[in-house]
A and B are shown apart, each in its own frame.
Chain A
Amino acid sequence: MSRPTPNPTPTEQPFYDACQRGELLLQHCNDCQHILFYPRTHCDACQSDSLSWRTASGKGVIATYTVVRRGVSADFPAPYIIALIDLAEGPRMMSQIIDTEPEALSSGLSVMVDFESWSDSITLPVFRLVTGQTP
Chain B
Amino acid sequence: MTATKCWLRVSLPPSFSVKSDHMKSQALRGEYALVGMAESAVGVVPDKSPRELCVEVTLNAVKDAGLTLSDCDGLITCNAFAEPILYHAEAVAEYLGWQPRHCVTVNTGGGTTFMAINMAIAAIAAGMADTIVVSMADSLRSFMTRDQAMVVQSSSGHPHYEQPYGPTVPAYYALIARAHMDRFGTTEAQFAEAAVSCRAWANQHPNAQKRELITVNDVLQSRPIADPLKVLDCSLVSDGGAAVVITRRERAQEGPHQPIYVLGYGEGHAYEHISQAADLTTSAAVIAGDAAYAAAGLTPDQIDLMQLYDCFTPALLIQLEDLGFCRKGEGGDFLASGVTRPGGSKPLNTHGGMLSHCHPGNPGAMFGLTEAMLQMRGDAQARQLANIQTALCHAQGGIMSSHATLILGVEATL
Contact = CB atoms under 8 A, between A and B. Distances in A.
Interface in B207-239: 223-229
A46 B159 CA distance: 24
A111 interface: no
Contact of A68 (B161, B166, B274): B166
Contact of B160 (A6, A92, A95, A96): A6
Interface string B163-184: 1111110110011101100100
Given A64-B178, A93-B275, A94-B275, A69 B226 contact: yes
Interface residues of A, number: 38
Interface in A28-48: 37-38
B147 A68 contact: no
State the main secondary structure of chain A at its contact with B. loop
Nearest to B151: A73
A3 interface: yes
Interface in B126-163: 147, 150-151, 154, 158-163
A84 interface: yes
Contacts, number: 107
Given A63-B179, A93-B275, A118-B164, A70 B147 contact: no
Contacts of A72: 150-151, 154, 166-168, 171
A68 B160 contact: no
Interface residues of B, number: 34
Nearest to B275: A94
A36 to B, nearest CB: 11
A112 interface: no
Interface in A78-111: 80, 82-84, 92-96, 102, 107-108
B162 A8 contact: no
A99 to B, nearest CB: 15
A50 interface: no
A38 B163 CA distance: 13
B119 interface: no
B178 A65 contact: yes
A107 B164 contact: no
Contacts of B159: 4, 6
Nearest to B167: A82
A5 interface: yes
A1 B163 CA distance: 14
Nearest to A71: B166
Contacts of A38: 158, 160-161, 275-276
A76 B178 CA distance: 22
Contacts of B225: 69-70
Q: Which of A65, A68, A94 is most buried by chain B, counting CB atoms within 10 A of its CB?
A: A94
A5 B166 CA distance: 10
Contacts of A95: 165
Contacts of B182: 64, 107-108
A108 B174 CA distance: 16
Contacts of B151: 1, 72-73
Given A64-B182, A102-B227, A107-B179, A70 B168 contact: yes
B280 A94 contact: no
A6 B164 contact: yes
B258 to A, nearest CB: 45
A1 B166 CA distance: 13
Nearest to A92: B275
Given A4-B164, A92-B276, 20 more contacts: A5-B164, A6-B159, A6-B161, A38-B161, A66-B171, A66-B174, A66-B178, A67-B226, A69-B227, A70-B168, A70-B226, A71-B168, A72-B150, A72-B167, A82-B175, A84-B280, A94-B162, A94-B165, A108-B182, A124-B165
15 contacts: A4-B164, A6-B161, A64-B179, A64-B182, A65-B178, A66-B228, A69-B223, A70-B168, A72-B167, A83-B175, A84-B274, A94-B275, A96-B165, A118-B164, A124-B165
Q: Nearest 3 CB-CB pairs, A to B?
A: A66-B174, A76-B166, A6-B160
